[in-house]
Structure 1
Amino acid sequence: MRTGSTGPGVTGGHDGRVTPVGRLLRRLSLDELPQLWNVLRGDMTLAGPRPEVPGLAGRYPPSCRWVFAHRPGLTGPCQLRSRAYAADLDGRADPERHYLTVQVPERTGLDAVFLHEATVREVLRLTGRTVLYVLASPFDRGACEGGGA
């Protein structure tokens, strides 16, 4: 992100605050690599709900706050939709409102299904799908340039 830039707490696919280098890092999902350290330390799991920015977490709808009782994951069902979520924020007058009222309930619904079915097999399946998603991103011309939501 550009130094001193202001804007919503969520980043759309074509957010002007993202630098060209940042856009490339996000497109290749290299911005997620530091979180591997958090997985190794035990602060995060390999698969689970995505961590949230504290300012947005405090504004989650009450019916969705249950997700914070679970350890966040490096990947999960929402990560496989991150480009679509980011693109969905583009052009919205209030992208944070859309994120909190539309995307957060959808994302926590996906997390609930995953957590209910969380087995070693499901974690490995999600991890494998995430690797394919990341490897395909440089070649996906239809994908937005931003990466995660």
Structure 2
Amino acid sequence: MYKLYFKRVFDILFATLGLIFLSPFLIIIAIWIKLSSKGALFYTQKRVGRDFKEFDIYKFRSMIVDADKKGPSVTSADDPRITKIGKLIRKTKIDELPQLLNVFKGDMSLVGPRPEVMKFVNQKKDEYKKVLTVRPGITDNAAIEFRDEEMIMSGYEDKEKAYIDIILPQKIELYYSYIENISFFNDIKLLLKTLKVL
């Protein structure tokens, strides 16, 4: 029952409260981004959601304009495309806060496997058949475990290959663990753990 109904009610309620209470802070961040670098306030990208349906994920822009055309799909901490404020909001995960809009719309859940781009999903399509039986989320145990992913990626020369062959399989195992143990109390625990590590 939680998986089908209560989880969605929980998402709508807390996404709405989050957007209301965080709105003054979000406005300050938005002004800071616009004053510090050229380009749009938000960055949108196609990600793969439940049942392999693509949606536009929202983030505060943390990189230069057209960054996705000027480098690899995987980002490392030393990526020159990241703006000065981008380094801060990426490290603290503030850039992810606009995804509360994705949660409100129903593209995502507060807690669930992090959504990937189709390019990487296609590399592990059989494994993703199970992962994408649930809505992707803003946080989960993989997001917590790999919160310093950009630093990890800095150690690899071929970042995309390292992500596909080393990082992604570990994430998928954690996604499976979440799905197999999904519950209201586990979601609350993961949200509190996320706040703690941030």
TM range (shorter): 0.7 to 0.9
Q: Which residue of 2 aligns with 1:2?
A: 64
The residue correspondences of 1:107-126 to structure 2 (distance < 5 A) are 107-126=171-190
Q: Deviations over 1:40-76 (max 9, x none)?
A: 2221111111011233323x23443222333101110
Structure 1 stretch displaced more, 93-102 or 39-48:
39-48
Deviation at 1:86, TM superposition (A): 1.9
3-state SS of paired residue (2:147):
helix
Contact in 2 for aligned 1:61/1:101 (Cα 8 Å): no
Q: Which residue of 1 aligns with 2:50?
A: none
1:128 matches 2:174: no
**Matches of 1:18 and 1:12, distance apart in 2:** 9
Deviation at 1:82, TM superposition (A): 3.0
Greater relative contact order, per chain length (Cα 8 Å cut-off, separation 6+) = 1
Deviation at 1:124, TM superposition (A): 0.2
Off by >6 Å, runs of 4+ in structure 1 = none
The residue correspondences of 1:88-99 to structure 2 (distance < 5 A) are 88-99=152-163
1:64 matches 2:132: no
The residue correspondences of 1:22-61 to structure 2 (distance < 5 A) are 22-58=86-122, 60-61=123-124
**More strand by percentage:** 2
3-state SS of paired residue (1:83):
coil
**Matches of 1:110 and 1:77, distance apart in 2:** 6
Structure 1 stretch displaced more, 25-34 or 66-75:
66-75
Gapped regions of structure 2 (runs ≥ 5): 1-62
Q: TM-score, normalised by structure 1?
A: 0.81
Name the % identity.
Answer: 32
Contact in 2 for aligned 1:13/1:83 (Cα 8 Å): no
| Count of paired positions | 133
When the two chains are superposed, the root-mean-square deviation of aligned CA atoms in Å is 1.6
**Matches of 1:84 and 1:27, distance apart in 2:** 8
3-state SS of paired residue (2:166):
helix
Gapped regions of structure 1 (runs ≥ 5): 135-149
- CA radius of gyration, larger in: 2
Deviation at 1:32, TM superposition (A): 0.6
3-state SS of paired residue (2:132):
helix
Q: Deviations over 1:17-60 (max 9, x none)?
A: 111111111122111111011112221111111011233323x2
Q: What one-letter code is carried by the residue in structure 1 that aligns with 2:102?
A: N
**Matches of 1:124 and 1:4, distance apart in 2:** 37
Q: Which residue of 1 aligns with 2:34?
A: none
Q: TM-score, normalised by structure 2?
A: 0.62
Contact in 2 for aligned 1:64/1:105 (Cα 8 Å): no
**Matches of 1:112 and 1:28, distance apart in 2:** 26
Q: Which residue of 1 aligns with 2:77?
A: 13
